[in-house]
Every structure is written in structure tokens, then in C-alpha cells.
Amino acid sequence: MDSPARRILIINGKGGCGKTTIATNLAVAYACSGASVALLDNDPQASSSYWAEQRDPKLPPIRVVAKHERPSMYQTQSFHHRLPAGTDIVIVDGHSNARGRDLESLLRQTDIILVPMLPSSIDIRAGGKFITDLLTHRIYRSAPRPVGVIANRVQPNTQTHEKLMQFLGCLDVPAVAQFRDSPVYTDAAEIGQGVVDMKDCRAARKETAQWKQLMQWIDQQTPNHRAPARMRPRSAERKKPLGDSATTA
């Protein structure tokens, strides 16, 4: 029996840190690798849903579940928020005002938590407080799961970048990826794409390595989740009998 879909929550208590940018680009990275991806839009601003409306249907598909919308009077909440059949990866675009039961619900249904953080004093302070509150939350403490911090919109070799990296080095959670402050992310968002889609763009190709690194870290944290067939390395395929003279591909 296949493992359930892997759920990845993108969240921070401070707005404007790039949650939707991370969520949409991570969804694209997994979709381009062959996974069946669902993007859960929890943000009342519906930014992920708007992004998906701009996406070319010829690109690797990403199904959006508008969790910020209330179900109609003829639907149950579970039916309205149901995942598409066969989903491998669920990316949850959390909202910064998640509190109380909303936050508890997000934490209960999450396998991995990613916290984007910008390189400014205000964001570092707010992000540090959010991570502390997260790690001490009763739901998290009752069932800990991997947490990773993403350094977002950074300009390498600047004072703010150095300050952020020093702060991340003092945390009890790892810094798992670092994305540049590049206009390519804005360009991609306007047309419903992620940087991994933009194979003909040099600036996008420079960012792709970091997305692959992030996916590798996620996969290492959730080894019990079986990857879909198109994502499995050939070494995972059924081996030929030792007596077969044919060589494997």
C-alpha cells in the first residue's frame, strides 16, 4: 500500500516574507520532477490561487485547493477541501495570521515545516520569535517533525546577508536553502510559473540548484514516503535476476 501524500507547510508569523513565492516555486519543482502536486491556499489574499490561474495548462500541472474559501451550503468542509486522487506532494501556503485552532490544524496535518525569513532586523526578530513559539507549541511538542529555515531574498556578500546567516547559525533548526533577491521570481509569478519552469532563462537556471537542494533535504527528512514512479532513481527499480546476461540501463 502506497504511503500517504507528503505534506509540506510554508509558514511564518510575519507577512511579506515570501511564503507564496516559496510555496509556488516548490510546487513547480516537484511537478517538474514528475510528482502529482496539490497546492493548498490558506491565505485569505488568495495569492497562490491567482498565480495558478495564470499558469499555462501545457506546463506540468499543479492542482490548487482553495482552503481560504468557505464551502457552499451544499458541501461539507472535508468535501470542499479534499485532495485530488493520487496526490504525492501537498504544499501548504500558510497565512501569517494563523492562530489558535487554525494553527493547530495546520500543524496536525504537516510532515515538514519550512519558515522563510528575510535578511532584515525586523524580519530576523519576528522570525526568531515565531520559531521559538512554534517549537514550544503543544501540538508540535507532542509530535515533533522536521523544521527548516529558508533564507529568502538575500543579496550575497552584503551586511544584511551576513547578519541573517549569523542568526541562522545560532538557531536550533537548520538553514536548508538560500534564494537570491532576483527579479526572476517576480517575472515567474506574473505568468504562473516557477524558476524551474524557465529553462531558457539564465537567471532562473542559477536558482534551480538551490531548489533541488531543498527537495533533497525534504526527501531525507521523510524517508518513509515513497516517491512516485517517475521520481524514483533507476536503482530503486526491480533488479534483473543475477543469471540474466542482459545489463541494466
Average pLDDT over residues 30-56: 94
Measuring CA to CA, which residue among 67, 150, 69, 145 is closest to residue 110?
145
8 Å CB contact between 212 and 231? no
What confidence category does residue 81 fall into, taking pLDDT thresholds of 50, 70 and 90?
A: low
Q: Is 155 part of any domain?
A: yes
Q: Is 32 part of any domain?
A: yes
Q: What is the tally of structural domains in the chain?
A: 1
Q: What is the pLDDT of residue 6?
A: 93
Hunting for cell 536550533 — which residue is that? 172
User: To which H or E segment does residue 79 belong?
Assistant: helix 77-80
Q: What is the pLDDT of residue 227?
A: 54
Spatial CB neighbours of 4, under 8 Å, sequence gap ≥ 6: 225
Average pLDDT over residues 21-40: 97
Task: Say how many CA atoms lie within 13 Å of 230 toward its Cβ.
Answer: 8
Q: Is 249 part of any domain?
A: no
202 φ/ψ angles, rounded to the nearest 5 degrees: -60, -45
Q: Is 12 part of any domain?
A: yes
For residue 159, pLDDT beyond 80: yes
Rounded Cα distance between 202 and 65, Å, is 32
Share of the chain above pLDDT 90, in %: 61
Q: What is the pLDDT of residue 68?
A: 57
Q: What is the pLDDT of residue 240?
A: 35
Spatial CB neighbours of 189, under 8 Å, sequence gap ≥ 6: 20, 21, 24, 51
Q: What is the pLDDT of residue 83?
A: 84
Q: What is the pTM of this model?
A: 0.84
For residue 122, pLDDT beyond 80: yes
The torsion of the CA quartet 196, 35, 220, 180, rounded to 10 degrees, works out to: 20
8 Å CB contact between 65 and 40? yes
Burial (CB count within 10 angstroms: exposed 0-12, middle 13-18, buried 19+), residue 89: buried
Task: List the CATH number of the domain containing 196.
Answer: 3.40.50.300
Task: Give pLDDT tens digits for 211-240.
Answer: 999 999 999 998 776 555 454 443 333 333
Hunting for cell 490544524 — which residue is that? 105
Q: Is 88 part of any domain?
A: yes
The residue with greater pLDDT, 32 or 72, is: 32
Q: Is 172 part of any domain?
A: yes
Average pLDDT over residues 118-133: 92
Full residue range of the structural domain in which residue 186 is found: 6-236
Q: Is 134 part of any domain?
A: yes
For residue 34, pLDDT beyond 50: yes
